[in-house]
Structure 1
């Protein structure tokens, strides 16, 4: 085999390997982790009746907040989350609260502190869901922010502040 032919075969092999590697990297980069993918198939009962399917929220920025009526920081941040929902809904943002609680206390709480964003009843399985989304300690409140592609772009264990919300809006602008 002459040098020119060997060089051509070598360059072709390198190009093929680079193309395959790029394809693998791109697929890996765009594939959703299993927990994020499974989230969009879930639906939750709502305190007022009916269900809350998460599939209809995919494709828009979503702030998913895990909370409970017995969690003081959770209760304290509810008005902030409600104001955020009302202000940013026209830009496509959605807020969903998943109550890691029993239905009766949630219903009683929402009578006294109504919110404009949907609440789903996650019960104690909400702790497992939050852990699968990155809440390693299982604490509350816990929030996960999803981009339009359905991927988590931010997580926060503990109370949310104005700075967090503003940063997430900038990140998805």
Structure 2
């Protein structure tokens, strides 16, 4: 163990850190790192000194903060985006409350035009063959169609190659029309999204106005039944 005299001697030999650092801290122009040196000694980086970054570069801490803000913004967008519950409400989608765009498409049963079927509610189900939820919806809508009989029109719209449909319809037979939408033009007019969503179900009332929409699987058909009840239509 060192004696008091030896410790005092060592302290006198070393300058105070604050005074020493003030007179000996330099900058390394090549590395942009704060350094300290004594005459005759090599330059070395200070452990806690900030780095001098080139213009336009971010420190690791700043980059992490920006990444955190971006992640929070994405999470907020997901929370605020329309989810499955309550979508039929007025204004849930841009198309809701608007006149339903008229269209004419072909299917196995021939041509089908929306304007020819107004006067009673129409349910438009936009689906694809690769969407498993969509295929389940076909079975659900088939039961719904049979339940209400001719009081409501149910129509499936598929923006895919016609060659894929016969196999799918053999596995999921339906009694309502299935229409082929080349390039998804009609689908885009109804969804009004940058990226199309499937399944997407639209309710058109007897006057031709869109009063409800649903961008998820039809797990619960109560909202469709409620919309039909408002029009005075009940299961037959």
What is the TM-score of this pair, normalised by structure 1? 0.69
Out of 179, 185, 189, the position equivalent to 1:132 is 189
**Ranges in structure 1 where 5+ consecutive residues have no aligned partner:** 1-31
The 2-side partners of 1:144 and 1:84 are apart by 15
Per residue, is there more helix in 1 or in 2?
1
- Alpha-carbon distance in structure 2 between the residues aligned to 1:85 and 1:49: 17
Q: How does 1:28-39 map onto structure 2 within 5 Å? A: 33=98, 36=100, 38-39=101-102
Instruction: Report the CA distance between 1:81 and its aligned residue.
Output: 0.3
Structure 2 equivalent of residue 50 of structure 1: 110
Matches within 5 A, 1:1-173: 33=98, 36=100, 38-39=101-102, 42-46=103-107, 48=108, 50-90=110-150, 92-125=151-184, 128-136=185-193, 137-160=195-218, 161-173=220-232
Look at both structures and tell me which one has the larger radius of gyration over its CA atoms.
Answer: 2
Deviation at 1:49, TM superposition (A): 5.3
Q: Unpaired segments of 5 or more residues in structure 2?
A: 1-96
What is the deviation of 1:134?
4.0
With a CA cutoff of 8 Å and minimum separation of 6, indicate the structure with the bigger relative contact order. 1
- How many pairs does the alignment contain? 134
Q: TM-score by structure 2 length?
A: 0.52
**Contact 1:130 1:142 (8 Å CA) reproduced:** no
